[in-house]
Structure 1
Amino acid sequence: MKSPSFCLLFFLFFTHTDSHGQLAEQRKYPKRVSSVAAHQKEIQRSSALNMVDPQTLIPGLIYDLRYATEQNFTRKRMYPKGTRSSFLRVAAAKALEKAADSLRQYGLGIKIFDAYRPFRVTLRFWKLIKDERYVANPSKGSGHNRGIAVDLTLYDLKSGAELNMGTGFDNFSDTAHHSFENLPAPIARNRYLLKSIMTQAGFNALETEWWHYALPNPSAYSILDIPFKKLNIKSINH
């Protein structure tokens, strides 16, 4: 029978080892804001860091949040069941509002597949696909984690039909790349329209994903890891 002192040493050793491992894991990743209180302190320093639901600013904007369903590349629900809206920083939401205003003259609206993404979800993605062309490396964080990136497509405001972009969302083939040229003319025009409107509004495109756009200067925005249900700021005065 082992002595009590041996058992205590054994317990302390593995507790220390486990704590050290967790600390090392934390140090691998950048600092992030993980509570509403910490986010509120950010907002007190600069109202531009506020997170808002872009649907409150943009008439006709609709959501199809794929990560709240199993209709995504993971085939798993990554967001809480019942998640029906998302968030963007004020600057991103206002830039998207500008894009929506331009699209309205074509009779088109915006459908969002994804916007804000808690950092913990990026960690889950990285475990599945370690390819920075398609999944953000958590050691850097992503535009989605910062609330400045949006995955979207266009739809006809009258019929509700999505415009054909040549691939679906989360397609990891070369066909989804902006540089892919072997596209029928109508699809190429649809992609060009989306890209031109979004870049004119202030977003940058991601070469490998026709649906992904983000504001420049990501280092100006903190990485967030606040659950959707706690991030319940609904609107801003604008």
Structure 2
Amino acid sequence: MKKNLLFVLFLSLSLSACAQKNGQNKYGLKIISDFKTYQAQVAKNPNLELVEIKKAIPDVVLDIRYATKNNFMGQTMYKQARAFARRPVVEKLKLIQIELKKKGYGLKIYDGYRPYAVTVSFYEKASDKNFVANPAKGSKHNRGCAVDLSIIDLKTGKDVPMPTPYDSFEPAAAPHYNELPAPIIKNRDFLINTMQAHGFKVIYNEWWHFDFLGWQDYDLMDIPFEKL
């Protein structure tokens, strides 16, 4: 009986420790924060891997604003200027890059996978909560299933003009805002139509933010870039 009680106690403590690493947070969300747990998931299902976008698509341009102070927070949020997404997301981005290149354009990536802790910081400090994900639900970025991006002109290397800068809180950032010059609307709609044709959906208030269809199949993550 004593051995059984000790075993039950040990099992309870083990499960409790595991829950603290990968269990529910104060909002009742399941968050994967233990790297070994993530590795075990990937071993079972390679599609769960967070792939580094630049390594998979070498000619993509990165502008990881959250690794600098040039962002709406005004502070560095990432220790490394890297971008990740789940394997199927990156495979779609490869196809998009090939299609764009034929037309003289290329992708510029601002952000991909975002650790959950960063989403919490955004929400706590953002002046306009409509432009940041509520940590009570988590972000598609936390699942590795959202990308923030734009396009560049390959001849000039410059950004293709869009309605607003990245991470703008202006009304013009909405993808259906039409009080804009016709060439700007054309550029924005070209980007949106290209992304949507490959399985992404633009969100209602940010022309640069695209969610991968099927994001529901992926857990929220809180693993820092340094471990990936």
- TM-score category, normalised to shorter length: 0.7 to 0.9
The equivalent residue for 1:60 is 59
Counterpart mapping for 1:223-234 below 5 A: 223-231=220-228
Residues 129-172 of structure 1, C-alpha deviations (whole Å, 9 max, x = no match): 37553111111111110001000010011211001102101101
Flag the 1:123–1:160 CA change in 2: closer, same or farther, 3 A: same
Q: Amino acid of the residue matched to residue 208 of structure 1?
A: N
* Equivalent residue, structure 2, for 1:71: 70
3-state secondary structure, aligned to 2:150:
strand
Amino acid at match of 1:64: D
Instruction: Tell me what 1:123 maps to.
Output: 120
Aligned residues: 206
User: 1:205–1:214: 8 Å Cα contact kept in structure 2?
Assistant: yes
Partner residue in 2 for 1:156: 153
Deviations 1:63-98 (A, max 9, x none): 100001111111111111xx2221100011011111
Between the aligned residues of both structures, percent identity stands at 38
Structure 1 length as normaliser, TM-score? 0.82
* Matched-pair contact (CA < 8 Å) for 1:130–1:137: no
What TM-score do the two structures reach when normalised by structure 2? 0.86
Structure of larger gyration radius: 1
The answer to whether structure 1 residue 193 and structure 2 residue 186 are counterparts is no
Which segments of 5 or more consecutive residues in structure 2 lack a partner in the other structure? 1-19
- Larger RCO (alpha carbons 8 Å, 6+ apart): 1
Letter in 2 for 1:39: Y
SS at match of 1:158: coil
5 Å-filtered alignment, 1:159-178, equals 159-178=156-175
Measured in 2, the distance between the counterparts of 1:107 and 1:42 equals 38
| Runs (4+) off by over 6 Å | none
Q: Give the Cα separation in 2 of the matches to 1:130 and 1:189.
A: 31
What amino acid is aligned across from residue 121 of structure 1 in structure 2?
V
Please tell me the residue identity of whatever aligns with 2:34: S
Deviation at 1:108, TM superposition (A): 0.4
Query: Structure 1: where are the runs of 5+ without partners?
Result: 1-21, 232-238
Query: Compared with structure 1, are the counterparts of its residues 34 and 130 closer, same or farther at alpha carbon in structure 2 (3 Å cutoff)?
Result: farther
CA contact (8 A) 2:142 2:222 kept: yes
**Equivalent position amino acid for 2:27 in 1:** K
1:88 maps onto 2:82 in alignment: no
2:33 partner amino acid: S
- Structure 2 counterpart of 1:190, one-letter code: N
